[in-house]
Structure 1
Amino acid sequence: MIKYTEASHINPELLADPFWVESLSQVSPEHTHDFYEFFILTEGRCRHIVNGAAQLLQSGCLVFIRPDDTHRYEADGDSDCRFLNIPCRKSLINDAFSYLNEEEFLHGILNTPLPRIAMLSQLEMDDFIRSFERIRMLSTLDKVKSRIYLKGILVDTLTQHFFSPETIEQPEFPLWLEHAVSKMHLKENLNKGLHALYELSGRSAGHVNRAFRQYLNQTPTEYINQLRLNVARNLLLTTELRVVEIALESGFDNVSHFYHQFKKYYHQAPLDFRKNAHANRLV
């Protein structure tokens, strides 16, 4: 069993040391550590095997790992994923807990068999990532300001996303919804879109829409667009297909709509994304 330590895994000048994991091919085998850790899936899905149980994670899942939790990551079908990992020193988290000083919250987050998961909306996820990207930047310019900003973001994250009845008593993910979500990654279903999702669920459109809001914190349309954009991203990175071909391959029947959604999600046009990714690999 691998055990990571603060001394080996976190920059000695920092309280937290965020980094990106671009693919499941980059993750560690089963391991534990003596520090706390947040990670958030920003693309794709995976199975999180933790303390002997499996958690199905989707884009937007923010997970809080405690010291001595034992975990690893596995592919869910043929899906890959990308996530931001944030190792945090025990002293940082303990100071935040002391500041919050809520026994019920501490019990609900520390004394459960499995780590807690918060489901963030796209806007919440974007804000979360921007905050920690800013911390990464500040840590190279002004470490004192970086530490102060980090403490504020950490307390806000814990109270906003984990200090709630929905998080402490997390509802069980329905099997019918897990089945529908897993089958939507198949190309034929992704091309059909909402029609396939409703058909796979065996539930009314209204029921499915409410379940997506409750368990995934997004609409079915947002979820399908996200899946299609993940496919488009992989095609841009691994093929020389033209943008119009990629749009069609990923389930978009309108190239203009594809451009709009891609730029909204990745903050750059598809060809710029491909060019910048290629340039970064050459650096």
Structure 2
Amino acid sequence: MSLLEKMLALTEEEQETLQYRQVMQARYTSKQSFIIEANKFLAPGSEIMVRKHTRFIDFPKHRHDYIELNYVYNGSLKQKIGEQDIHLKKGELVVLNQHIEHQIDACDTEDIVINFIIQPSFFNFIFSFLNVEGPLYSFLIDSVHGGNGFGQFLYFKCAEEESIQMLLQKMVEEIMNPDAFSQATTKLHVGMLIIELTKKADTLEGNYEGTLQNQWLREALSYIHEQYKQATLTELSARLNQPHYLLSKLIKKRTGKTFKAILQEKRLDIAREMLVQSDLPVSVIAEEVGYDNFSYFYQIFKKKFEQTPLAYRKRQAPQE
């Protein structure tokens, strides 16, 4: 059976759609407003999922609490993003941030669309090595760290770009034939896809004027990523030869977060990975990510993840 034949098979969601002839909103959100929630699809601790879009029914206006990428594997996809009608053809893709609303026309049997569900936190590590200014970089910076809540999307007419299509093909094969390494493989492929899309910016339809292209911000995020254990605003200001109060104001204005908040997010994300991937004592992990005060680490971890470090480790153990 070919990959396309597998993709044409009905999913449980599509069978439900054909039976009830409506979108079952409770499947996608627990909120009154139609905001699709990542936790309805992602396993605890996961940052990425790739799935097939449900066919045969109009999907009403909605937005997500994650960054979404729609890729047309076969056929086409018609949708209205914000106030703009977009008709994606086979091989094209669109990236939407978590603030943009869109509605999707019903797909026919032959229209196979792949949805990438990506937590904004996934892109933090990419910022440390994506050193080229461009619309995708600015879009991701705004989506992950932007405080303005402004809806944006990017439309890539990349059907003829072999390097991009090969990566997307591999990811589709991964979701149809998963194994124990699929999650890690998908993360690597998505990172490579972001790089390829950055290199192929000429396939971008229209233009995105990012507001966070300042070199200081990029270097600040790279510094936090690489030096999270001992990073300080004072050392950053010395590296950039700029007053710390000026950098503090810049970071807050353009990300909506303080230097301390961004650093804390990075440290806790690393701690979460270490809890799942190692048997190190929690106190050692706290020190490894930069916290000498274990009680403080315990407190902020529990506040962010709504459970203690040990409870988080035990909950993840069965999935591992």
The answer to whether the 8 A contact 1:31-1:70 is kept is no
Paired with 1:52 and 1:59, the residues of 2 have a C-alpha distance of 14
- Find the partner of 1:237 among 276, 284, 289: 276
Partner-residue secondary structure (3-state), 1:31: strand
Q: Does 1:220 align with 2:259?
A: yes
How far did residue 38 of structure 1 move? 4.4
1:113 aligned residue? 207
- Find the partner of 2:23 among 13, 16, 21: 13
1:196 aligned residue? 235
Q: Does 1:260 align with 2:284?
A: no
Alignment of 1:139-218 (within 5 A): 170-187=210-227, 190-218=229-257
Paired with 1:34 and 1:177, the residues of 2 have a C-alpha distance of 36
How far did residue 14 of structure 1 move? 4.0
How far did residue 275 of structure 1 move? 1.2
How far did residue 67 of structure 1 move? 8.7
Letter in 2 for 1:173: Q
Distance 1:209-1:262 versus aligned 2 partners, 3 A rule: same
Q: Deviations over 1:204-253 (max 9, x none)?
A: 11101111111111111111111111111110111111000000111111
How far did residue 196 of structure 1 move? 3.0
Distance 1:29-1:211 versus aligned 2 partners, 3 A rule: closer
Give TM-score scaled by structure 2 length.
0.46
Letter in 2 for 1:241: L
Partner-residue secondary structure (3-state), 2:137: strand
2:310 aligned residue? 271
Give the root-mean-square deviation of aligned CA atoms: 4.3
Identity over aligned residues, as a percent? 18
The answer to whether the 8 A contact 1:42-1:60 is kept is no
2:137 aligned residue? 54
Structure 2: gaps spanning 5 or more residues: 26-33, 52-67, 82-95, 99-118, 159-167, 169-188, 193-204
Partner-residue secondary structure (3-state), 1:185: helix
How far did residue 172 of structure 1 move? 3.6
* Alignment: residue pair count: 187
Paired with 1:179 and 1:274, the residues of 2 have a C-alpha distance of 33
Q: Does 1:23 align with 2:47?
A: yes
Letter in 1 for 2:47: S
Letter in 2 for 1:208: L
Which structure has the bigger radius of gyration?
2
The answer to whether the 8 A contact 1:38-1:64 is kept is yes
1:92 aligned residue? none
Question: Which protein has the bigger helix share?
Answer: 1
Q: Does 1:41 align with 2:120?
A: yes
Letter in 2 for 1:183: Y
Distance 1:225-1:24 versus aligned 2 partners, 3 A rule: same
Q: Deviations over 1:27-80 (max 9, x none)?
A: 99983554455446146514699x97433437455684659556998549xxxx
Letter in 1 for 2:207: P
